[in-house]
Amino acid sequence: MKSETEAVEMYSKWSLEVITTERDIGTEQLFKKVVMEEEKHFEIFETEFLNLQKFGQQGTEKG
Span 26-55, pLDDT tens digits: 888 888 888 888 889 889 988 998 999 888
55 — phi, psi (to 5°)?
A: -110, -5
6 occurs within a structural domain: yes
Residue 63 has a pLDDT of 41
- How many CA atoms are closer than 13 Å to the CA of 49, on its beta-carbon side? 8
60 occurs within a structural domain: no
58 occurs within a structural domain: no
47 occurs within a structural domain: yes
7 — phi, psi (to 5°)?
A: -65, -45
Spatial CB neighbours of 7, under 8 Å, sequence gap ≥ 6: 38
User: For the chain, what is the domain count?
Assistant: 1
Q: What's the domain range around 28?
A: 2-53
Residue 32 has a pLDDT of 83
Percent of the chain with pLDDT over 90: 3
pLDDT for 25 beyond 50: yes
Q: What is the pTM of this model?
A: 0.59
Tell me the one-letter amino acid at 35: V
